[in-house]
């Protein structure tokens, strides 16, 4: 029987649910599957060195998270078309002597949003964060039919780069760089920065901008109830936590690693058992 050795590369990944989600579903599928955390802060090595070492040690593949989804690109031999369009990779598969980059974040977020907030208005949406995760979310939002996407990032050049890529794919009138106060007139707000994670507490936006009638989605899932979601809920917003995205992107990554189709519904149930709350709660 084939043995699969998978790793997660990133910083502050100690609380990650990825090992449990992957290993539980792999066990259900009858696979020999081990999932390890490769924390860049602990290893004190750059992404390229960690990638090379994992390959040398016989890893099947790696998941890539903050802050390495874009940094990893120069260290890959090939990039799948979707990941190339996003300019970010969250899954690396070692096969046929090559390190091949994929991205399952975009489909994971899109499927989570359709499950958790299926009927929300999406004429005008604001995205906070233009890094690797933000790029995936931006492409997902426009693919789902967002009319106009405003992108804000603390790094203006990064926001501008993402908007340029989105316009190239979806049209010049679909994406713009915006200021945080664009939330005042938006239908929805999606947060895609590390702010709110256990290692990065706080609010990514002035809570006075939140109002009833606005929907708010956060890709952070540890904790599920981020400061942003708590503030949004208190002001009457419909909210979506990051649990669904992490499960559904994990399901697609597992398929890429093994060639076996996982049961996404069962993985959502695994999440609820682990966290005590549904992955699609809103």
Residue numbers annotated as active site: 69
CB 192 within 8 A of CB 137: yes
Dihedral angle of Cα 138, 139, 141, 147, to the nearest 10 degrees: 90
CB 274 within 8 A of CB 20: yes
Burial class (CB in 10 A: 0-12, 13-18, 19+), 206: exposed
β-bridge mates for residue 98, sequence order? 95
Q: How large is the angle between the packed helices 243-258 and 264-275, nearest 10 degrees?
A: 130
Degrees (nearest 5) of the Cα angle 264, 265, 271?
Answer: 90
CB 239 within 8 A of CB 232: yes
CB 273 within 8 A of CB 263: no
The Cα–Cα gap between 216 and 211 comes to 10
């Amino acid at each position: 029987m084939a043995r699969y050795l998978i790793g997660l590369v990133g910083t502050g990944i100690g609380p990650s649910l990825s090992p449990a989600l992957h290993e539980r579903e792999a066990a259900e599928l009858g696979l020999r599957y081990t999932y390890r955390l490769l924390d860049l802060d602990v290893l004190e090595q750059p992404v390229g060195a960690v990638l090379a070492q994992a390959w040398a040690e016989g890893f099947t593949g790696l998941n890539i998270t903050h802050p390495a989804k874009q940094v990893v690109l120069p260290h890959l031999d090939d990039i799948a078309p979707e990941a190339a369009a996003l300019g970010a990779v969250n899954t690396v598969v070692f096969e046929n002597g090559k390190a091949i980059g994929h991205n399952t974040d975009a489909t994971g977020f899109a499927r989570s949003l359709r499950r958790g907030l299926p009927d929300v208005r999406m004429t005008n949406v604001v995205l906070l964060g233009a890094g690797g995760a933000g790029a995936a979310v931006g492409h997902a939002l426009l693919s789902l039919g967002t009319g106009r996407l405003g992108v804000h990032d603390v790094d203006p050049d990064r926001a501008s780069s993402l908007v340029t890529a989105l316009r190239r794919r979806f049209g010049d009138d679909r994406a713009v760089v915006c200021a945080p106060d664009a939330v005042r007139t938006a239908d929805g707000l999606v947060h895609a920065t590390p702010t709110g994670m256990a290692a990065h507490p706080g609010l990514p936006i002035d809570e006075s901008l939140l109002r009833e009638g606005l929907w708010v989605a956060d890709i952070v899932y540890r904790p599920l109830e981020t400061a942003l979601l708590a503030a949004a809920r208190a002001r009457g917003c419909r909210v979506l936590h990051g649990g669904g995205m992490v499960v559904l992107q994990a399901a697609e990554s597992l398929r890429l690693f093994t060639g076996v189709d996982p049961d996404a519904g069962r993985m959502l149930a695994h999440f609820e058992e682990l966290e005590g709350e549904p992955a699609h709660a809103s």
